[in-house]
Amino acid sequence: MTEFDGKVVLVTGAGRGIGKAIALAFAAEKSRVVITGRTAAALEEVAAEIRATGAEVLASSCDVTQKPQVNDLQHTIKTHFGAVQILVNNVGIAPAAGFLDMPDNLWDEVMRVNVSAAYNCCKTFLSAMIDARWGRVVNIASTVARVVYPGISAYATSKHAILGLTRSLAMETARSGVTVNAVCPGYVNTELTRENARRLAENRGKSLDEALAMLAASCPQRRLIEPEEVAYVTLMLASDRARGITGQAIQVDGGAVMA
């Protein structure tokens, strides 16, 4: 038996990358895991991996940027497992564009996916945690919630907003038994990072391997972070032993940002 045994965990954007690693990590602790995203086929692949561990899983397609769909998801989860006890807001996009060149609809999309989705899920699932006097919210942010770089104004703004939401909710729930924290990864070894590296390679006239090496070089450890490392910190923040940690942004970046 572990402290996560039977806990109901919702992970958004769980079809690949960090979200998948987090879902598998909770499954390994025998949690009842709900995975959601917009691509049903990817979710089913992750669900099959979770079932193979013997854990319970519910895969449910949902566009968490749409509040009515999140409300429907809440009803589905309640029918199958009960109230969500641990919420991991992971879904996100990271397009690169200079501010003056960026189309307005790209800004709107980044805010919708990276900020409004977390808002929708917190607004929907937080009340039950407060009523139960126990709950955990972990928002997957980024090191650019703490620092910024050229060409990512929309992404950086959205992740700063996530950190602001994290701290605001932590203050409002501080005496309720609920904690709200953010995990801020650096460059992680995922397809999203490879997509960014491909764009970097095209812009700089480099190969993909050279671009990935450039991203890795931004970390003092000279490597990409593995998704499982982010998952580990997420589990730690969701544990009872971390009940004194709230409103914090924990960097997982090999020392890239020290502040």
The backbone torsions φ and ψ at residue 3, rounded to the nearest 5 degrees and listed phi first, read -70, -15
- Distance in angstroms between the alpha carbons of the first and the last residue of the chain: 37
β-pair partners for 251: 184
Taking the C-alpha atoms of residue 125 and residue 130, their distance in angstroms, rounded to an integer, is 9
Query: What is the DSSP track for 129-152?
Result: HHHHT-EEEEEE--GGGT---TTB
Q: Which residues pair with 9 in a beta bridge?
A: 33, 86
Question: How far apart are alpha carbons 167 and 181 in whole angstroms?
Answer: 8
Rounded CA separation 143/250 (Å): 9
* Strands 135-140 and 57-61, sheet pairing: unpaired
Dihedral of CA 78/81/83/88: which sign?
A: negative
Active site residues per annotation:
155
CB-based contacts of 39, cutoff 8 Å, min separation 6 = 15, 61
Report the residue count for the chain.
Answer: 259
Alpha helices in 60-112 (DSSP H): 67-80, 104-111
